[in-house]
Protein backbone atom coordinates (compact mmCIF):
# COMPACT_ATOMS: atom_id res chain seq x y z
CA UNK A 1 0.00 0.00 0.00
CA UNK A 2 1.34 3.44 -0.88
CA UNK A 3 1.77 5.88 1.96
CA UNK A 4 3.11 9.40 2.26
CA UNK A 5 5.87 8.04 4.49
CA UNK A 6 8.06 5.55 2.62
CA UNK A 7 11.05 4.45 4.77
CA UNK A 8 13.22 4.43 1.64
CA UNK A 9 12.62 8.18 1.25
CA UNK A 10 14.76 8.88 4.32
CA UNK A 11 17.88 8.14 2.27
CA UNK A 12 16.83 10.92 -0.11
CA UNK A 13 16.89 13.59 2.62
CA UNK A 14 19.99 15.11 1.02
CA UNK A 15 17.98 15.89 -2.13
CA UNK A 16 16.44 18.76 -0.20
CA UNK A 17 19.62 20.64 -1.10
CA UNK A 18 19.06 20.41 -4.84
CA UNK A 19 17.39 23.80 -5.25
CA UNK A 20 18.89 25.60 -2.27
CA UNK A 21 22.32 24.02 -1.77
CA UNK A 22 23.77 26.83 0.36
CA UNK A 23 20.93 26.58 2.85
CA UNK A 24 21.05 22.77 2.94
CA UNK A 25 24.82 22.86 3.46
CA UNK A 26 24.42 25.21 6.41
CA UNK A 27 21.69 23.01 7.88
CA UNK A 28 23.53 19.71 7.46
CA UNK A 29 26.79 21.16 8.80
CA UNK A 30 24.93 22.47 11.82
CA UNK A 31 23.06 19.17 12.21
CA UNK A 32 26.31 17.22 12.21
CA UNK A 33 27.87 19.55 14.75
CA UNK A 34 24.85 19.32 17.04
CA UNK A 35 25.08 15.52 17.23
CA UNK A 36 28.85 15.34 17.66
CA UNK A 37 30.30 14.41 21.06
CA UNK A 38 30.35 17.49 23.31
CA UNK A 39 29.36 18.16 26.90
CA UNK A 40 26.71 15.51 26.15
CA UNK A 41 27.74 12.18 24.67
CA UNK A 42 26.50 11.04 21.26
CA UNK A 43 24.45 8.40 23.07
CA UNK A 44 22.74 10.97 25.27
CA UNK A 45 22.02 13.21 22.29
CA UNK A 46 20.50 10.30 20.37
CA UNK A 47 18.18 9.60 23.33
CA UNK A 48 17.08 13.26 23.40
CA UNK A 49 16.52 13.12 19.63
CA UNK A 50 14.43 9.98 20.02
CA UNK A 51 12.28 11.66 22.65
CA UNK A 52 11.82 14.80 20.51
CA UNK A 53 11.09 12.64 17.44
CA UNK A 54 8.11 11.22 19.31
CA UNK A 55 7.01 14.67 20.43
CA UNK A 56 7.00 15.94 16.84
CA UNK A 57 5.77 12.51 15.66
CA UNK A 58 8.17 12.30 12.74
CA UNK A 59 8.29 8.71 11.39
CA UNK A 60 11.62 9.33 9.65
CA UNK A 61 13.18 10.60 12.87
CA UNK A 62 11.72 7.77 14.95
CA UNK A 63 13.20 5.24 12.49
CA UNK A 64 16.58 6.99 12.36
CA UNK A 65 16.94 7.60 16.11
CA UNK A 66 15.69 4.17 17.18
CA UNK A 67 18.57 2.74 15.14
CA UNK A 68 20.95 5.44 16.35
CA UNK A 69 20.09 4.80 20.03
CA UNK A 70 20.71 1.07 19.62
CA UNK A 71 23.96 1.70 17.76
CA UNK A 72 25.15 4.12 20.44
CA UNK A 73 24.61 1.42 23.06
CA UNK A 74 21.24 2.33 24.56
CA UNK A 75 18.72 -0.34 25.37
CA UNK A 76 14.94 -0.53 25.15
CA UNK A 77 14.54 0.18 28.86
CA UNK A 78 16.34 3.52 28.46
CA UNK A 79 14.61 4.32 25.19
CA UNK A 80 11.20 3.62 26.72
CA UNK A 81 12.02 5.85 29.69
CA UNK A 82 12.97 8.61 27.24
CA UNK A 83 9.51 8.29 25.64
CA UNK A 84 7.91 8.63 29.04
CA UNK A 85 9.79 11.89 29.45
CA UNK A 86 8.22 13.02 26.15
CA UNK A 87 4.86 11.84 27.35
CA UNK A 88 5.19 13.49 30.75
CA UNK A 89 6.08 16.84 29.20
CA UNK A 90 3.37 16.60 26.53
CA UNK A 91 0.78 15.45 29.06
CA UNK A 92 2.03 17.90 31.63
CA UNK A 93 1.82 20.74 29.11
CA UNK A 94 -1.87 19.95 28.60
CA UNK A 95 -2.56 19.47 32.25
CA UNK A 96 -0.76 22.59 33.41
CA UNK A 97 -3.11 24.63 31.20
CA UNK A 98 -5.76 23.47 33.60
CA UNK A 99 -4.50 26.33 35.73
CA UNK A 100 -5.87 28.72 33.06
CA UNK A 101 -9.10 26.75 32.91
CA UNK A 102 -9.48 26.95 36.66
CA UNK A 103 -8.63 30.64 36.79
CA UNK A 104 -11.18 31.49 34.09
CA UNK A 105 -13.85 29.19 35.49
CA UNK A 106 -13.30 30.47 39.03
CA UNK A 107 -13.46 34.08 37.90
CA UNK A 108 -16.79 33.60 36.19
CA UNK A 109 -18.31 31.30 38.75
CA UNK A 110 -20.08 32.12 41.98
Partner 1 sequence: MNPSLFSDTLRRHGLELARGVTSTLQINVGLTCDLACRHCHLEAGPDRVEAMRHETVEAVIACAGRFSFAAIDITGGAPELLPWLPRLVCGLASLTPKLIVRTNLTALTRPESDALPELYRDHGVALTASLPAVNAAQTEAQRGVGVWETSTAMIRRLNGLGYGVAGSGLELDLVSNPTGAFLPAPQAEAEKRFRQDLERRYAISFNHLYTFANAPLGRFRAWLERSGNLDAYLARLEGNFNPCTLPGLMCRSLLSVNWDGFIYDCDFNLAAGLHHGNRQIHIAQLSQLPAAGTPIPVGDHCFACTAGSGFT
Query: Which stretches of the chain bind partner 1, using CB under 8 A?
Result: 41-43, 67, 70-73, 75-77
Q: How far is the CB of 43 from partner 1 (least distance, A)?
A: 6
Q: Which is nearer to partner 1, 43 or 55 (by Cβ)?
A: 43
Q: What angle do CA 101, 102, 105 make, to 5 degrees?
A: 85
Q: Locate all alpha helices (DSSP H) within 10-109, ordered by sequence.
A: 21-35, 42-55, 59-71, 76-96, 98-108
Q: How far is the CB of 11 from partner 1 (least distance, A)?
A: 9
Q: How far is the CB of 77 from partner 1 (least distance, A)?
A: 6
85 alpha carbon, distance to own chain's centre: 12
Q: Which is nearer to partner 1, 75 or 94 (by Cβ)?
A: 75
Amino acid sequence: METYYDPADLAAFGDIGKDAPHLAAKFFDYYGAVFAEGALSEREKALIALAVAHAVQCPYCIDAYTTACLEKGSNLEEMTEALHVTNAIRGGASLVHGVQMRKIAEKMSL
